[in-house]
Chain A
Amino acid sequence: MTENKDANEKKVSGNQEEVDLSKRQFIKTAGMTTGGIVGGILLGSFISKPFKTEKYEPASGDNHHHGSGTHNTFTEAMQFFTRSEDLLTLAAATEIIFPEDENGPGAIALGAPYYIDKQLASPWGKNTDDYRKRPFLEGESPLNRGDTMLTGLRKLNEVSQSKHKDIFDNLEEEVQIEILQSFEAGEIEMNLVSSAGFFTLLRQLTLEGCYADPLYGGNKDMEGWKMREFPGAYMSYVDTVEANEFVKKEPMSLSDHM
């Protein structure tokens, strides 16, 4: 997903960041619609969203952006994140964890970044059902899940900038993998939470965003389930249980029961 880079895109620094990123998204999207090598059409639909180049959409007509897919994307906006750059970093990291390949879509096309945004905005993201009483002992993090993700994502960019002079999203895939490995191994010093703790949460949320029932905003069109031939929310397999061969079933989601 990081191929379409040129010198202009990489000029990202200081308070020019937003503007340049927007340009970059535009270029990426344009590249995609003209048959560029950005990874897949749904990727275009994602990356055009957090960084709209035109501030106002026409009131009527198609609400989709350049090159977007066929989904209704009214729910693709930020509930938890406040800086679109955090969502961009998250998207890049999820795509490394669960990349698009010949089997099918990756985390971005499956909607995992927006799934994660919604989860972090939920009571679960604020740990409201958890025991939060102090003291937090050594090895325990006092941060809630939302703050853990924010801290970790900003650290990803900080490490990217200091070691590779660019934001995480702009780095080559191999470099992104290396950085995530160092987080996973707990090698990155972070405040109030370990980098391994952040990575565990990031990986878990990414898989959830690819495989949860689509009601939560990920696993778009049940494409995550289709890749692994998981039928989803069926109510009965009593007729199939004794089958000797694999029985492929078209998936069904909870919305089919409403």
Chain B
Amino acid sequence: MAKKLDKVDVVTVGVGWMGGIVAAELTKAGYKVVGLDKGKEKDIKDYLHTHDEVRYPVRGEGYEKLTNETYTVRNTLDEDARPIRDKSTAVIGEGIGGGGSHWGAQTHRYYPYDFEIRSKTIEKYGEDKIPENMTLQDWGITYDELEPYYDKFEKMGGISGEPDPNYPERSDDYPTPPLKKNRQMLLFEEAVKKMGYSPFVIPSGTLSEQYTNPDGETLNACQYCGFCGSNYCEYGAKADPVMTVIPTAQKTGNFELRTHARVVRVLHENGKASGVLYEDTRTGQEFEQPADLVVLTSYVFNNVRLLLLSEIGTPYNPEDGTGVIGKNFTDHHGVTSSHGLFDNEKFNNYISTGAYGMAITDYTGDLLDHHDLDFLHGGQIEARITGNAPVANNIVPEGTPQWGKEFKEKSLFYANRFLMIFSQKATLPYQDHYLDLDPTYTDANGDPLIRITWDYSDNDRAIHEFIQEKHVEILEEMGATHILPYPMPEHFTGGLAFQHNSGGAIMGDDLETSAVNSYLQTWDIDNLFVCGASAFPHFSCTNPTTTAAALTYRATEGMIEFLKNGGQLVEAKSQKSQV
């Protein structure tokens, strides 16, 4: 029997970036917030001895254990899904801070085209340009409407960067200057400028200098230590909820953080959420936490799974495209990458940060004319200095075996002579790519796992072909002696190299084609909000956190408005206007 607790104003399910932002903004506004996180507590004292390749990136110390639950994956509707079993291949942040504690902290904004992708594509190319089974949708918000919230996130996180010359002027500069350029970045910059591109230093949540944010939280200067993307930052130099929004919420006295608290259901009746049911993962004791406002702020998989398990909204049906919960799932894997080896250079490859390098955006969004191309959107091109942690980085010329005498010799020689060109591509939604509940596999309590049905699309492969040619041209211009353009894998296996999944509870302006409005408020239950990349109708080229966080900052204004006046914050379109 669940123990019923006293009612609070707001309960968040998960305390990572989204939960932390909600907690900070709502507690500052005077509301009592309880944050539930199924993982453990942590603070900077836990971060001091993390320069350990095996423990962190290889074994995934910062990732959620799969002992009790995971997700399952299949490529097509007629396959049996299989569970992802190996913890190190399911990169889902563990404990408070979530993925925001160990992220690489690459912080691009999305492009104006993204938010109105369907309208703008039809306007320029006609409706026939969109493949029939591509469920491309506008987001129900424009870039200009979201811009102030990008700015707010960047100022909270102290983001270091310089403007991307290809995209609209920012309302303000990045709060801190870009990271220092190293030899590899200078080589890339020189080459791509010669080729007519406009490179810029990748914006980053590892800070170029010490910075105090508007909430009074201080972050320190990045030391370029090379243990970043799967590690916690011992200097407190990475924008991390544990260093920023969580302490901000705690300082108000209005925030109660409960760890080891795994939410199993959203409780609701007659179109109103009454709270959540959760269990203490150590004792199994169940608790009911009533609240005026329930906010799902966990990872994409868990946000969508809780909606489905709690029977909120209409589950998506991939056969006819009706329903919304689970719709437009996209994933960022199948990245296009190419290594360049430089026989006559020797780089300080051991020096890096989580998102260290320079980028060009000339092939993103609709900056390139797509009339004669067999894809929509595109990919960003980055020169990335990823570090050369020695277990994972053994780059050898084509034709070299992956072990043995020659492998050893070559992998040692090239350990400080490689550079990666890297493209994350926009992944666009399809009718048969979605999330639902698995019919076979369950968690430790017997509740079904979330199931992914997804694979690389023709659009992904076409962008890959297109963009990798550019990689090769750039590496040639840079003087690489060997160029290794890696092919895309045949199929998505479900293993994650990074925490980039999206969709399943998507935003929009039509309740028949989206789950939440532009304030991330569900159409079905006024006092339930679903925050995070689960709201993305498609995945743009770059990392999801910045846009998810900007949407969540905007959503917190809606939450405050709702707590004052109630009701739906946006009037829904009443008929199908899209798709």
A interface list, Cβ under 8 A from B: 96-99, 101, 103, 106, 124, 127-133, 135, 137, 139-140, 177, 180, 203-204, 206-208, 210-213, 215-216, 224-225, 227-238, 240-247, 254, 257
Contacts and interface: CB of A to CB of B under 8 A. Distances in A.
Contacts of B54: 208, 212-213, 216
A206 B54 CA distance: 12
19 contacts: A98-B403, A98-B408, A99-B404, A129-B66, A129-B87, A131-B69, A140-B85, A177-B404, A210-B390, A215-B52, A228-B411, A228-B412, A228-B415, A230-B388, A230-B389, A237-B223, A241-B180, A241-B182, A257-B48
Contacts of A135: 440
Contacts of A244: 183
A233 B51 contact: yes
A130 B350 contact: no
B103 interface: no
Nearest to A245: B346
A234 B405 CA distance: 29
Given A130-B86, A236-B225, A237-B223, A225 B390 contact: yes
A203 B408 CA distance: 12
Contact of A208 (B69, B183, B391, B408): B391
A257 B49 contact: yes
Q: Which 7 A-B pairs have the closest CB atoms?
A: A233-B51, A236-B223, A211-B390, A246-B346, A228-B415, A131-B66, A131-B70
A155 to B, nearest CB: 18
The secondary-structure label for the interface of chain A is loop
Interface string B414-456: 0110000000000000000000000011100000000000000
Contact of A129 (B65, B84, B346, B405): B65
Contacts of B133: none
Nearest to B222: A238
Contact of A212 (B66, B85, B391): B391
Contacts of A238: 221-224
Contacts of A247: 348
B234 interface: yes
Contacts of A224: 390
Contact of A131 (B49, B59, B80, B85): B85
A207 B351 contact: no
Nearest to B72: A131
A213 B225 contact: no
A99 B411 CA distance: 13
Among B48, B51, B390, B403, which residue has the most Cβ atoms of chain A within 10 A? B403
B85 A132 contact: yes
Nearest to A97: B403
Contact of B224 (A96, A106, A241): A241
B58 interface: yes
A211 B58 CA distance: 12
Contacts of B415: 228-230
Contacts of B49: 254, 257
Contacts of B403: 96-98, 180, 203, 206
B82 interface: yes
B343 to A, nearest CB: 14
B218 interface: no
A237 B86 contact: no
A64 to B, nearest CB: 27
A137 B438 CA distance: 14
Given A137-B80, A137-B82, A237 B67 contact: no
A243 B67 contact: no
A98 B409 CA distance: 10
B83 interface: yes
B226 interface: yes
Given A133-B441, A235-B225, A103 B412 contact: yes
A212 B58 CA distance: 10
Contacts of B348: 237, 240-241, 243, 246-247
A207 B394 contact: yes
A207 B415 CA distance: 14
Contact of A99 (B86, B221, B346, B405): B405
Contacts of B182: 241-243
Nearest to B179: A241
B524 interface: no
A237 B225 contact: yes
B143 interface: no
A130 B66 CA distance: 5
B53 interface: yes
B181 interface: yes
A103 B227 CA distance: 26
Among B67, B222, B347, which residue has the most Cβ atoms of chain A within 10 A? B67
Nearest to A229: B416
Among A96, A240, A241, which residue has the most Cβ atoms of chain B within 10 A? A241
B402 interface: yes
A99 to B, nearest CB: 5
Among A233, A247, A254, which residue has the most Cβ atoms of chain B within 10 A? A233
A161 to B, nearest CB: 23
Contacts of A213: 51-54
A238 B222 CA distance: 8
A106 B407 CA distance: 12
B51 A131 contact: no
A235 to B, nearest CB: 6
Contacts of A203: 402-403
A95 B85 CA distance: 30
A243 B412 CA distance: 21
A1 B203 CA distance: 50
A135 to B, nearest CB: 7
A149 B48 CA distance: 33
Contacts of B388: 228, 230
Contacts of A243: 182-183, 348
Contacts of B389: 230
Contacts of B402: 203
Nearest to B402: A203
A133 B80 CA distance: 15
Interface in B375-420: 388-391, 394, 402-405, 408-409, 411-412, 415-416
A207 B391 contact: yes
Interface in B34-92: 48-49, 51-54, 58-59, 65-67, 69-70, 80, 82-87
A133 B442 contact: yes
Nearest to B83: A131
Contacts of B70: 131
A131 B53 contact: no
A227 B394 CA distance: 13
A72 B324 CA distance: 63
Given A130-B87, A213-B52, A231 B405 contact: no
